[in-house]
Structure 1
Amino acid sequence: MRELSRLHARSNTSHRDSCRESLELSRVLCQSRGIDYVFGIDVPCIAEQGNTVNLQEALSTLREKTLGPDGVFLHRCFNDLIFAMKHADDTGFYCYRAIESLRHHCASLHGLSAADRSKQWKKFREFAGIEESTLLAIKSAADPLRHGNVSAVSSEERAKLFSSTWAMVGAYLAVIPVPAGCHLRPTSPEGADVLTPSPPSETPQATAPSTRETRG
């Protein structure tokens, strides 16, 4: 840990001197000492939802769904969810933008990328089973921030935003399919998931007609 402290101090000094470098420590891992500590952001209303989740299985399934050309929308959604936790004053903005990325993903999934936004939102709500009132409540919290204004939010309101957004994202992720050809085998001996093509659909083999004569 002393080494980490020195590393952090050097990083801060470098940042002050040059204003070009910064370092963020998110995890400390030392297998030989049995240390695996993640410097996370504790949001109780979200953490409670994960108490009954098999994280290894959930992450493996999620990783498959983020593959393929549309995966960029999911990655953008996840990044905004992280920003929503980090930046309390802008929680509404990042929560709504995360959901907007899912709307784009849904539109691409259903061939509606060129459609107007009202059709895209309608398809998104129908596909994920989301109430429009819940979506509008998050949008209402985001609107002032989207236009450069300042909006105060209480701890209770922020917790409600988190709960609604995470439920919405979870509902959508639960119904989207794994992109064709992007299934992962269980972890390899080296510890990494391995991409493998989806098995081809089986079709009955046509039986060639017999060339033998039938003797009477």
Structure 2
Amino acid sequence: MSGKVLPERANVNLPKSVVLKILPGRAIPEGSVVVVAVICSQISIVVHSREEIADLQALAHECEGMCRMIVDCLGFLLTCGYDIEVTQVSSAGGLHVVYGVKPADFRPIPYSDENIQSVFERLLTVPRDYQLQYRRALADYREAIRSHEDTAFFCYRVVEDLRQVFVVDEQGKEAQTWNRLWEALPVAEDTRAYVKDIIRPLATGNRHGGGSSISHELRLEMLEKTSKIIAAFVDWARMPKAAPTA
């Protein structure tokens, strides 16, 4: 598996390779050994396993998390905000996957070649009064896409970012702002319930240092539900005289 430390111009080097032994409960078979090296900002990850690993998607997510921790340790030591990107993974059996910047076969916001410009312009033209919360929501959604381990955490952050638009009284009850959010946005009842019953419990675990692994299918489901909430917010924000009510 290979990748890079960003920004590449930082020319990051690990003093030596890091060797990790895999414990039970991971996607990588127990007893496997993972060797991570970073030379001139180029990442090399080699997994030594007695078993064939068929799920390269899960393998990539596991290794990305390990590598991110290693680079974050170096960034903490040097006070540098490094990021990483896994670009490709290969198996001993000859299977080879090159990764892009989004989950495969995932397009929650429908568009075509004919209307992509108008859809993009619609997303860009959110009124100034709501842009701070909107920018934060988009930033958190970006991280939800990028971070498999923390998808739930960032998806819930997206909704909380947008909820801040509906805070009328800082001393008011949080439940009231949730009610204003859901009353204003044209989202289905099952989407609201999904945020409360699925995303929120997983996000709470992440937020408090816990959490559990999620399947690729559940991750895509959370991203899809969250994207629909963002799209609904854009529709609401662009409505004439849209404003939160007490």
Q: Structure 1 length as normaliser, TM-score?
A: 0.60
CA offset at residue 48 of structure 1?
A: 5.5
Say whether 1:152 aligns with 2:204.
no
Contact 1:66 1:75 (8 Å CA) reproduced: no
Contact 2:137 2:159 (8 Å CA) reproduced: yes
- CA deviations on 1:86-111 (whole Å, 9 max, x unpaired) are 11100000000011000112x15xx4
Contact 2:155 2:222 (8 Å CA) reproduced: yes
Q: Say which SS state the counterpart of residue 43 (structure 1) adopts.
A: coil
Moved more, 150-159 or 113-122: 113-122
Structure whose residues are more often strand by fraction: 2
Distance 1:52 1:114 in 2: 45
Amino acid at match of 2:180: K
Number of matched residues? 158
Say whether 1:76 aligns with 2:128.
no
Equivalent of residue 179 in structure 2, options 112, 115, 122? 122
Query: In terms of Rg, which structure is larger?
Result: 1
Equivalent of residue 65 in structure 1, options 123, 126, 130? 126
CA offset at residue 67 of structure 1?
A: 2.5
What RMSD, in angstroms, separates the aligned Cα atoms of the two structures?
Answer: 3.4
Contact 1:93 1:142 (8 Å CA) reproduced: yes
Match of 1:56 in 2: 117
Match of 2:146 in 1: 86
- CA deviations on 1:3-51 (whole Å, 9 max, x unpaired) are xxxx93663358789945567799xxxxxxxxxxxx9512235435344
Amino acid at match of 1:12: V
Q: 1:84 to 1:98 in 2, by over 3 A?
A: same
CA offset at residue 59 of structure 1?
A: 2.9
CA offset at residue 73 of structure 1?
A: 0.8
Moved more, 40-49 or 168-177: 40-49
Q: Say which SS state the counterpart of residue 150 (structure 2) adopts.
A: helix
Where does 1:182-197 land on structure 2 (aligned, <5 Å)? none
Consecutive unaligned residues in structure 2, runs of 5 or more: 1-6, 14-39, 42-73, 86-98, 242-246
CA offset at residue 146 of structure 1?
A: 1.3
User: Sequence identity, in percent?
Assistant: 20
Contact 1:11 1:23 (8 Å CA) reproduced: no
Structure whose residues are more often helix by fraction: 1
Runs of 4+ in 1 over 6 A off after TM superposition: 14-18, 22-26
